[in-house]
A and B are shown apart, each in its own frame.
Chain A
Amino acid sequence: MAKNKNKGKPRNYALDSGVYRFSASKMFHKKAIHKFLKKTVAKKPADKKPVFVEKKIKGDKNGGTRMVRVKKLTNNVPTMDVKTCILHTKRKSVFSKHSRKLRPSLTPGVVAIILAGVHKGKRVVVLKQLETGLLLITGPLKLNGCPLRRINQRYLLATKTSINVSGVKVPETINDKYFARVKSDNKVKKDGNIFENKKEDYKPSEQRKADQASVDKQVLEAIKKHPQGAALKSYFKAGFGLNKG
């Protein structure tokens, strides 16, 4: 090796104009980078993924199979963005998932006044809140003719009188389904019977009567135990009304 005259001097330097003296390719040769470059490894051929996949066609119509692309084409855009789809379904608040609130004055055992409906003006006992948020009330039937019924909180005026109904066990079967309207089985033929609207009067089923009796029995006992039991009985019998003064 010849004596390196350039020792100490930089290989590349800037000229007055600011440009460097030697280009990148010259520097490649000057620095002998070819000695330091690693040899490239031969490219491994990538595992060939199938472009098309055979998929079975479900349903009666076609039978057999069809070829589906593994990687969707870029111009294959769905009609509705998946994200917005999910957003929309998440935003829909289903009634069954609504949060049910209960006014603090309408706890089980409270005597409330019904403000509207067939039984308006009657004082009834609140038993519990059902799944849909409606309240289960009972007259009791013997005292004021109001049966086990569902009613919306908004139509009840709570009083400060309450009965201890912790001992009253309302059967688990009494829920919203119990009160659902019974669909009539009339399969109307087109003969002309359509115009005869037979509105059958509501008759309480035996199940209802039995449940009513069992719940009322417990409620009446609770009323008896109340310090003002006797007075309460007549309280229930009387209706509510606004009066002068």
Chain B
Amino acid sequence: MAPKSGRLYAKGVFTGFKRGLRNQHENTALLKVDGCAGQEDARWYIGKRCVYVYKAKNKTSVPNSKEKSQLRCIWGKVTRPHGNAGSVRAKFRRNLPPQAMGCRVRIMLYPSRI
């Protein structure tokens, strides 16, 4: 496992949707994980849950807490490696919004296989 930065999650970036040159498939997102160099490194992340966290204008309720917050998230999971350079494919419960491209996605360390 290559060293990475972050807390109990690995930092990743949403680089785009799965695509051919002229067509894109928004149901699968491509994530570039910090510190993940090749396909073998990427294999460690398979099955791990990932979240895209973002802020919104209106406050919505948070589970297990009375206070509402502006933070929202879209959960997903890493499905397989992508390419040879350590990228990873992920599927989210709802497709990621395109404005998330270039933004931070958190890749959690669970479900753990170690």
Contacts and interface: CB of A to CB of B under 8 A. Distances in A.
Contacts of B42: none
A63 interface: no
A35 interface: no
A120 interface: yes
A242 B112 contact: no
Contact of B8 (A105, A121, A158): A121
A156 B112 contact: yes
Given A156-B112, A157-B112, A120 B5 contact: no
B114 A105 contact: yes
A192 B75 CA distance: 38
Interface in B66-114: 108-114
Interface residues of A, number: 18
Given A240-B8, A242-B4, A242-B6, A158 B114 contact: yes
B34 to A, nearest CB: 9
A155 B112 contact: yes
A245 interface: yes
- Interface on chain B toward A: helix, strand, loop, or mixed SS? loop
Interface of A: 103, 105, 115-116, 120-121, 153-158, 240-245
Contacts of B57: none
The CB with the most chain B CB atoms within 10 A, among A116, A154, A243, is that of A116
25 contacts: A103-B113, A103-B114, A105-B114, A115-B8, A115-B109, A115-B110, A115-B112, A116-B8, A116-B110, A120-B8, A155-B112, A157-B109, A157-B112, A158-B114, A240-B8, A241-B7, A241-B8, A242-B5, A242-B10, A243-B3, A243-B5, A244-B3, A244-B5, A245-B3, A245-B5
Contacts of A240: 8
Contacts of A105: 114
Contacts of A154: 110-112
A154 B110 CA distance: 6
A115 B108 contact: yes
Interface string B1-21: 001111111100000000000
A71 B74 CA distance: 65
A245 B4 CA distance: 6
Contacts of A116: 8, 108, 110
B10 to A, nearest CB: 7
Contacts of A245: 3, 5
